[in-house]
C-alpha cells in the first residue's frame, strides 16, 4: 500500500487553526496539482475532524472516490453522491482492511491521522503547500516522533500567489 499526503500549511507549519478553521487558506483559482493528485489515488483516509470541516465547504470535491473516515462515533450524513465509510483501528488495521478491498494508493489527510500514519510507516510521499501567512498557533502538520524520518526532496514549485509547494519521498 502506498500512502500520500497533499496538504496546505501556514508558513509556521499549521494545517488549521485550533478550532479547525481554514480561513487563512487563499481562495486561489490557480491550479496547484490537486486534481491530478486526486486522480492518482484509489481512496482517501481522513480523520473525523477533517470530514466534519470538509462537509462545511458546501462543495464535495472528491466525486465518487471512496473516503474512509476514522472515527468511533457515527458520522454526519455524507453529501449526495459521496462514498463515505466509517472505520476505526490502528493505521495497520486500516491499511490491512483497505488492501483487502483492493486499494493500493491512499491519500491521508487530517493532522492526527497524518501523524499516526507517518509514525506507523504508511506514508511514502508528502506534498506540502506553504501559504505565506503566519497564524501563530493551531493544529500542527507534524507532531512528536520516536526517531528521525529522512526525506528526499523531489521538487519545489512556486505560484504567482506566493504559494510554495514542495514534494518529498520518505526514505525507507
Q: Which domain holds residue 102?
A: 2-17+31-140
Domain annotation covers residue 162? no
For 36, phi then psi, to 5°, come to -65, -40
Domain annotation covers residue 26? no
pLDDT at 56: 85
pLDDT at 153: 98
What CATH number should be reported for the domain holding residue 87? 3.40.430.10
The grid cell for 126 is 508528502
Domain annotation covers residue 154? no
Domain annotation covers residue 48? yes
Q: pLDDT tens-digit profile of 75-96?
A: 989 988 899 999 999 999 999 9
Which tops the pLDDT comparison, 58 or 140?
A: 140
For the chain, give the percent of residues with pLDDT over 90. Answer: 84
- pTM for this model (two decimals): 0.94
Q: Helix 111-119 crosses helix 48-55 at what angle (to 10 degrees)?
A: 150
Q: pLDDT tens-digit profile of 120-141?
A: 999 999 999 999 999 999 999 9
Q: How many domains does the chain have?
A: 1
Domain annotation covers residue 38? yes
Q: How many CB atoms lie within 10 A of CB 9?
A: 22
The grid cell for 10 is 501556514
Domain annotation covers residue 22? no
Domain annotation covers residue 163? no
Domain annotation covers residue 169? no
Amino acid at each position: 500500500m502506498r500512502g500520500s499526503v497533499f496538504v496546505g500549511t501556514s508558513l509556521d507549519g499549521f494545517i488549521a487553526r485550533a478550532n479547525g478553521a481554514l480561513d487563512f487558506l487563499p481562495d486561489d483559482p490557480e491550479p496547484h496539482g490537486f486534481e491530478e493528485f486526486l486522480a492518482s489515488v484509489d481512496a482517501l483516509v481522513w480523520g473525523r475532524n477533517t470530514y466534519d470541516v470538509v462537509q462545511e465547504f458546501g462543495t464535495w470535491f472528491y466525486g465518487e472516490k471512496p473516503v474512509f473516515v476514522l472515527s468511533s462515533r457515527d458520522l454526519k450524513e455524507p453529501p449526495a453522491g459521496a462514498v463515505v465509510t466509517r472505520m476505526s483501528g490502528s493505521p495497520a488495521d486500516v491499511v490491512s482492511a483497505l488492501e483487502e478491498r483492493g486499494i493500493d494508493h491512499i491519500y491521508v489527510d487530517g493532522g492526527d491521522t497524518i501523524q499516526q500514519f507517518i509514525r506507523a510507516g504508511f506514508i511514502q510521499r508528502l506534498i506540502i503547500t506553504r501559504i505565506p501567512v503566519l497564524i501563530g498557533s493551531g493544529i500542527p502538520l507534524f507532531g512528536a516522533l520516536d526517531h528521525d524520518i529522512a526525506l528526499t526532496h523531489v521538487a519545489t514549485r512556486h505560484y504567482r500567489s506566493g504559494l510554495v509547494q514542495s514534494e518529498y519521498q520518505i526514505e525507507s
